Amino acid sequence: MNKKVALQDLGHKDYKETWDYQETLFKDIVDTKIRNRREAAGLETPNHFLFVEHPHVYTLGKSGDMGNLLVDEKALEAKGATFYKINRGGDITYHGPGQIVGYPILDLDNFFTDIHKYLRFLEEMVILTLAEYGLKAERSEGETGVWLDVGTPFARKICAMGVRASRWVTMHGFALNVNADLGYFDLMIPCGIRDKAVTSLNVELGQKEVNVEEVKAKLLKHFSTLFEAELVREKAGV
């Protein structure tokens, strides 16, 4: 089992460009697994974790409803935003400046072959990180992601998640609102859930801005512990 995970911070990067890069890394792992099966090649499969901040973009998952995007293309253009239909699970999601987006591209054969456990671990990583800021974050039954004040009229989502997995290889991931402009969430029904609000870490802490690098470090610490992984920082490849 290869529990080393190559960490790349891509900085501020276009969504489509990053998606293409994810697909390249994903395909490389899948191709290696296929070769191992066919030829008993015994090659180690790599694991990756990408951090990125995207320009304003809306993405719709395979099972998503276009009706959850509340504006047309022209209105998106006016807001400097783009839109993509993509190959992950889940409904509509927004990415933009002030968000930490994480894409773990892992061969779960190196960890555990359980996609539900994988999602719960990603949620737990965020829950533990937010606890360090004094916030009691939770799961909401039947709704992937991380929430505050679950089960009350004030329930609000702080982290969205949507993944794709094939041959136990994962891609896509999570988006944690840290210093996000929440006005962009008004252009959609987040994840198709009508009756719950969205929030950001800086809003919850009553701060103008939270240190993003500090939040990333906490996320990685909890990721390493939960997945029993060794993170190896690499130069961004895209």
Question: How far is the C-alpha of 50 from the C-alpha of 102, rounded, in Å?
Answer: 6
Determine whether the annotation assigns residue 145 to a binding site: no
Residue with tokens 């982290």: 159
Residue 191 known to be catalytic: yes
Catalytic annotation, pick one of 81, 169, 191, 220:
191
95 is annotated as contributing to ligand binding: yes
User: Is 161 known as a binding-site position?
Assistant: yes
The verdict on whether residue 37 carries a ligand-binding annotation is no
Residue 56: closest CA among 85, 95, 86: 95
**162 labeled binding residue:** yes
DSSP state of 56: S
User: Annotation-wise, does 88 bind a ligand?
Assistant: yes
92 is annotated as contributing to ligand binding? yes
Q: Please say whether the beta carbons of 103 and 18 come within 8 A.
A: yes
175 is in an annotated binding site: yes
Closest CA to 100 of 202, 192, 224: 202
Which DSSP helix (H) or strand (E) runs through 21? helix 15-39
Residues within the annotated binding site for substrate? 88-95, 160-162, 173-175
Active site residues: 191
Residues within the annotated binding site? 88-95, 160-162, 173-175
